[in-house]
Chain A
Amino acid sequence: MSAITKIKKTGRSGFFRGGREDSPFKRLVIHAILILACIIAVYPVLRVFSVSLRPGDRLLSTSLAIIPEDASLEAYRAILVDRDFLLWVWNSLIITIATAVVGVILAATSAYAFSRWRFPGRGAGLVFLLTTQMIPAAMLMVPLYILAARLGAINTYRGLVIAYSVTSVPFSIWILKGYYDTIPLDLEEAALIDGASRMSAFWRIILPLSTPALAIVFLFNFMQAWNDYMLARIMLQRPDLYTWPVGLWNMLFSYKTEWGVFSAASILVMVPVMTLFLYSSKWLISGLTLGSVKG
Chain B
Amino acid sequence: MIEVDHLSKYYGPVTAIRDLSFSVEPGEILGFLGPNGAGKTTTMRILTGFMPASSGRAVVAGYDVFAQALEVRQRVGYLPENVPLYREMTVSSYLHFVAEVKGITRRERPRKVGEVMELCGVQDMERRLIGNLSKGYRQRVGLAQALLNDPPVLILDEPTVGLDPRQIIDIRQTIKNLRNDHTVILSTHILPEVSMTCDRVVIINDGQVVAVDTPDNLTERTQPYRSIHLEVQGPEEAVLAHLQGLPGVLAVAKNGANPSGAAVYTLSTTKERDMRADVARAIVQQGWQLLELRAVRLSLEEVFVQLVTEEVEAHA
Same assembly = no
